[in-house]
Amino acid sequence: MGTIFETLRTTTAHWARTRWPGIAAVAAVAATLAACSSAGGPTGGGLASSGVSSNGSKLILFELSFPCGLNPGTNQLCAGVTAEAKQLPAGFKVEIKTGINYADNSAFNSLIETSLQLNPAGLIIFPGGPAAQTPVMNQACAKGVKIVIMESPATGLKCQSGFVGTNNFKLGQEDAEWLITHPPSSKQIGIVTQPPGEYVSTDDRVRGFTQTITTAGYQVVATAVTNLSLDTTRTEVTNMVTAHPKLGAVFSANGPMGDGTEQALKKNHRIAQLTLDGLPNDVRSIVNGTISADAVSDGYAEGELAVRNMAAVLQGHHIPATTYVPSTLIDNANANAYLDKLK
């Protein structure tokens, strides 16, 4: 979800840790099943065997632990799913089933288990962690259900047909390439990131940025390790800039950390700021000149590709083991156009 796609993971993880209300797993599942939507045709009657409904259609379930309306990125993700569902050949039906709380893996596992009672032919799943949904996904494997994983890799899965997601190394690389073509006042660079190893995607972004920028003669002189709290990030970046007054640019490895960095540097117009994920408030900051550039993956395309790949698998076709979605570099030349697309 575009924006995702750290937007989907880190922004929702941030809200889950700090702002989600405490909801029992059973209530979450009940609410999500009541609110789940369908795309690509009317809902059929009872379901027969082999993932085929009573009206002869193959059922594909698109499953998220968070609602489609969580943020603009998730809206785009679900919109892509719905659009591609309408393009599938006759004989397919796609339903979207969503959870409430990104951090509640028990509720998400229960949602998947309940969904298996609908006898789907295929599941498209955005896991909450490398192995969080593996046990219930392997239950699906045992039933002959095909699985396409999106955005967050899963481990120990017995029947994964493919992966669709963000090339996080490339997102970091794109920010670095923008900076190289728009040289800052100094080649000293600061990085704002999470603890190494906490998120593979974040590590990949930092690696893509660092390798590209150092090859061009820049020097990473400071790294602020923070979390997704605005206050913590603002404090860490303020300390970093105080210790390294000659910084020319600061790269924040996701949107929430970019927000904290912006707050810390709002009176410092000499330092170029780069972030990721295309969060609307960050793109508006590009328009007003506070942030310089922001790279974001295409959530709409990710939804389309996930459904398209699953349909191909169910038709007996080979799909790539990994499919990366397109990405966009946003700066002041296209920021307003990007915001218009989100409306």
Per the CB < 8 A criterion, the answer to whether 166 and 6 are in contact is: yes
150 in the same domain as 45: yes
101 in the same domain as 238: no
**Does residue 248 lie in a domain region?**
yes
Q: What are the pLDDT digits (tens) for 149-192?
A: 999 899 999 999 999 999 999 999 999 999 999 999 999 999 99
24 CB contacts (<8 Å, ≥6 apart)?
none
Q: What are the pLDDT digits (tens) for 213-226?
A: 999 999 999 999 99
**Does residue 1 lie in a domain region?**
no
Q: How much of the chain, in percent, has pLDDT values that exceed 90?
A: 76
Q: How many residues does the chain have?
A: 343
Per the CB < 8 A criterion, the answer to whether 187 and 217 are in contact is: yes
152 in the same domain as 11: yes
In 98-125, which positions are buried (b, 16+ CB within 10 angstroms) versus exposed (e)? Answer: bbbbbbbbebbbbbbeebbeebbbbbbb
35 in the same domain as 93: yes
pLDDT of residue 56: 55
User: Domain range for residue 121?
Assistant: 6-166+299-327
**Is 128 a residue whose pLDDT tops 90?**
no
**Residue 317 — φ and ψ, nearest 5°?**
-95, 155
What is the number of domains present in the chain?
2
Q: Which two tokens stand for residue 109?
A: 């596992």
In 3D space, the residue among 326, 308, 330, 328 whose CA is nearest the CA of residue 317 turns out to be: 308
Question: 321: number of CA atoms within 13 Å, CB side?
Answer: 2
336 in the same domain as 208: yes
**Residue 14 — φ and ψ, nearest 5°?**
-60, -50
Question: 280: number of CA atoms within 13 Å, CB side?
Answer: 11
25 in the same domain as 148: yes
More confident call, 42 vs 72: 72
What CATH number does residue 282 fall under? 3.40.50.2300
**Does residue 38 lie in a domain region?**
yes
241 in the same domain as 131: no
196 in the same domain as 150: no
Looking at residue 247, the DSSP 8-state letter turns out to be -
CA 62 to CA 148: how far, in whole Å? 9
**Is 44 a residue whose pLDDT tops 80?**
no
